[in-house]
Amino acid sequence: DTAHWIDTLDKAGELKRVKCPVDPSLEITEITDRISKVYGPALLFEQTGTDFPVLINSMGTERRMAMALGVNTLDDIGHDMEALFKQLLSPKESLFDKLKLLPKLGSIASWMPKVVRGRGACQEVVMREPDLTKLPILKCWPEDGGPFITLPVIHTKDPETGIRNVGMYRMQVFGPKLTGMHWHRHKVSARHMNEYKKRGEKMPVAVALGGDPAYAYCATAPLPDGVDEYMLAGFLRKKKVELVQCLTQDIQVPADADIIIEGYVDPHEEFILEGPFGDHTGYYSLPDYYPKFHVTAITHRKNAVYPATIVGIPPQEDAWIGKATERIFLVPIKMTMVPEIVDMVLPVEGVFHNLVVVKIRKEYPGQASKVMHSLWGAGQMMFTKMMVGVDGEVDIHDPLALARYVSEHYDPLHDTNFTAGPVDVLAHSCSVMAFGGKMGLDATRKSPEELSMRQTSSHPIAPLHIDLEALKSKFPEIRDLNTRLTSIGISLAFLSVEKNRPGHVKELGRALFATPEFQHLKTLIVLEHTVDIQDIADSVWRFSNNVDPKRDCLMLDASDNQGINHIVLDGTRKTLALDGFQRDWPNILASEEQTIELVDQKWSAYGLGALLPSPSAKYRKQLYAGGAVAE
C-alpha cells in the first residue's frame, strides 16, 4: 500500500519529505517540475493545508518505476511474460507435458482479483458529507480550468457483461460533489457510458487514489478490451488484488487504496465544459465538453496520503510510466502480432504518440513498411504520427547511434511512406480533431530489389559549413541554424524562421536546397523563431507536436540524379492567416513569474538541496500571446 511504498522509497534514499507548508495551487507543480527535470527524488509534502499529505513524482525515474512494479529492471517483466507465453503456447504432445502445465495454470488463477467481504482499509473513515475540497487537489498550470485529480484509478463496468474496466482519466473539480470525467471517444469507459445511455440508466463509477502503485500503472496500460487490469496487477505482484464493494455504488475497488470517491455519470445529462489543462504534450489541451461525475461518497484510510502527478514539457514522471509500457508490451506485440520486431523505443520527446522507433529482423524487401502498417492497426499504436523502422546491430536506446544509422540508410524520396488515420485527441497540429497525417521512415538496410528503381547513389554524410550571417542577409526571415549533428554523421539540421507569408516554409526550403551549401543535407526541420534550436531535445519535442507529417512535408529530388534527395518538415505553429489552419492552437506550459519567485524564495525551507532554476524561466520566453489558446 502507499505507506509501504513511501517506506520503501525512504529506505532506498529515493524520497524527500517537505515539512514546510505548501500550496496545492501552482506551488507544488513548480517545485516538482524543477525536481523532475533533473530526475530527482519522490516528494512527500506533509503540510498541504488539508488533512492529507501529497505524494508526487514517486515513479519519476526508471529505477523508481521498476521499484514500483517490484523488479530490478523494467525488462524483467517482459522476460517473465515471454517465458509464460512460451510455456502456455508451446505444443503439448504428451500427457506429461500437459501435467507439467498445471502448476503454472494454478499460479495464473492465483493472480485473478478477488472480492472480499466486509470493509477494506480504504473505508476506515467515511466522510459524513462528501466534499472534494477537503482533498489537496492540485491546480497545476496557470491557465488550467481549475484543480484536477491527476492520478485517479477509475472503475467502470459493462452493463451487459459486468466486465470491469480500470482506466486513468483526469478529473476537473467543479464543486464539492462534481467533477468532469475526461474520457475520450476511443476509451472503453466512453463505450460503457454509451451502453448505459441505451439502457436509460445512470452509470456507477468509482475512483481509487493511492494503494499499491501498480494500480496506477495498470490503469494506464494498453490492455485489450475485456482484459481485467487487476489481472495484470496480479501478474506483476504474483498475488491477487483484493477488492471490496463500494458503499453507495454497485462497483468494487481495491481494499488497500487510500481514498475512494464513489459516484455516477448520468449519460442523458448535458456535458460540462472542461479544461484547459496543461497536458503531457507540454501544451494545454483546450476546453471541450465531457460527462459530469456526481460524487455520492468519499471514504479513506485513517492516515491516507493523496497521490498526484504533474504532466507537462518532458521529462516528467509520465515518461517513466510510458517507458514501462514500452518494455512490457513489446513482448505480446512480438509474440502475437509482429514476430519480426526485435525492439521498440518511444522517445520521451515524442510524448508517446508522436514518435516510435521499431527495430526489426529484416528478411525481405518492403518488410519495414509491412511492420509499420501492422503497428498502425494495433490498439493505441494507431495514434502514432511518425514511425521509424531500423534493423541490424544498431542500439536504438542510444539516440546518437540511432540517428547516425537512420541518416545513413534513409533516402527521403524513396523511403518515406505517408498515410492518414486516427491520431490522439491531444494532437493539436492536425487540421481536424483526432484525424491526421502519418509518416513512416524505412531506415533499414536496403535489399537489391529495393535499390533497383533508384537513380541516386549513396554519398558519405558531410558536415555543413554555412556562414549564418551571410545566410541571414540573403534570407532575413532566418533567425538561427543548427548544423551540429552533421559533424557527427547525422544529415539533419534545424532552422528557426519567422514566417511572414503563406507557403513560406516550403518556399524557403526550395530556395535553400537550390544553393550549393545545402546540397549534401538530407533532412531540414524548420521551427518558429522563438524556439531555441540549439537545444536538440526541445527542438524534437516542439517539432513532433507541431507537425502533421503528411501535410507539412516537402520532398525534393536530387538536382543531378547523383546527389542527395531532400526532405523539409515544417514544425512551426500553424495559423489561419499563413497556413489556412482553422483550429485553435494551444500555448506551451510555463509557471507564472510570481510562482517562480515564491518557490525561489522558499527553496531553502523545502530542504531539497541547492537551488534548482525554474524550467519555466526558459519557456516563458517562448509563450505565445494569449492564455491557453494562442492569439
Residues 464-498 pLDDT 10s: 999 999 999 999 999 999 999 999 999 999 999 99
Q: Which residues are tagged catalytic?
A: 279
Kindly tell me if the per-residue pLDDT of 184 is higher than 90.
no
Answer whether 426's CB lies under 8 Å from 285's CB. Answer: yes
Interval 275-318: pLDDT, tens: 999 999 999 999 999 999 999 999 999 999 999 999 999 999 99
| Vertex 590: Cα angle to 595 and 64 (nearest 5) | 90
> What's the whole-number average pLDDT of the chain?
94
pLDDT at 96: 59
Q: Shortest CA distance to 168 belongs to which of 308, 284, 5, 21?
A: 308
The per-type count for the chain, helices as H runs and strands as E runs, is 19, 30
Question: Where would I find the beta strands (DSSP E) of 459-611?
Answer: 478-482, 492-497, 523-528, 553-556, 566-570
For residue 153, give the 3-state DSSP assignment: strand
Kindly tell me if the per-residue pLDDT of 456 is higher than 60.
no
Q: What are phi and psi of 504, to 5 degrees?
A: -60, -45
DSSP bridge pairs for 115: 243
Answer whether 522's CB lies under 8 Å from 514's CB. Answer: no
pTM greater than the 0.75 cutoff: yes
Q: What is the mean pLDDT of residues 217-222?
A: 94
pLDDT at 380: 86
Scanning the structure block, which residue is given the C-alpha cell 525492439? 343
Answer whether 443's CB lies under 8 Å from 390's CB. Answer: yes
Q: Could you tell me which residues come within 8 angstroms of residue 308 by beta carbon, excluding any fewer than 6 positions away?
A: 28, 54, 55, 56, 136, 137, 138, 149, 150, 151
Annotate 211-272 with DSSP letters as a single string.
SSHHHHHHHHS-PPTT--HHHHHHHHHTSPPEEEE-SSSS-EEETT-SEEEEEEE-TTSPPE
Rounded to whole angstroms, the Cα distance separating 340 from 631 reads 47
Interval 65-83: pLDDT, tens: 999 999 999 999 988 888 8
Rounded to whole angstroms, the Cα distance separating 163 from 152 reads 19
Report the interhelical angle of 27-37 vs 593-606 (nearest 10°).
Answer: 70
HSE of 309 in the Cβ direction (CA atoms, 13 Å)? 28
Rounded to whole angstroms, the Cα distance separating 595 from 613 reads 13
Q: Shortest CA distance to 45 belongs to which of 67, 16, 80?
A: 16
pLDDT at 187: 83
Kindly tell me if the per-residue pLDDT of 202 is higher than 60.
yes
Report the interhelical angle of 75-89 vs 102-110 (nearest 10°).
Answer: 130
pLDDT at 186: 76
Please give the C-alpha separations between residue 552 and each of 241, 326, 436, 565, in angstroms, as whole numbers: 48, 28, 11, 17
- Confidence class for position 110, pLDDT limits 50, 70, 90: confident
pLDDT at 181: 96
Q: Which cell numbers in the block locate residue 9? A: 522509497
- Confidence class for position 102, pLDDT limits 50, 70, 90: low
Give one word for 307, left, alpha or beta, with left for phi > 0 and alpha for psi -120 to 50.
beta
pLDDT at 101: 54
Q: What is the mean pLDDT of residues 348-353?
A: 94
For residue 29, give the 3-state DSSP assignment: helix
Q: What is the mean pLDDT of residues 430-446?
A: 97
- Confidence class for position 452, pLDDT limits 50, 70, 90: confident
Q: What is the mean pLDDT of residues 321-329?
A: 93
Question: 516: which DSSP letter?
Answer: G
196: amino acid identity, one letter: Y
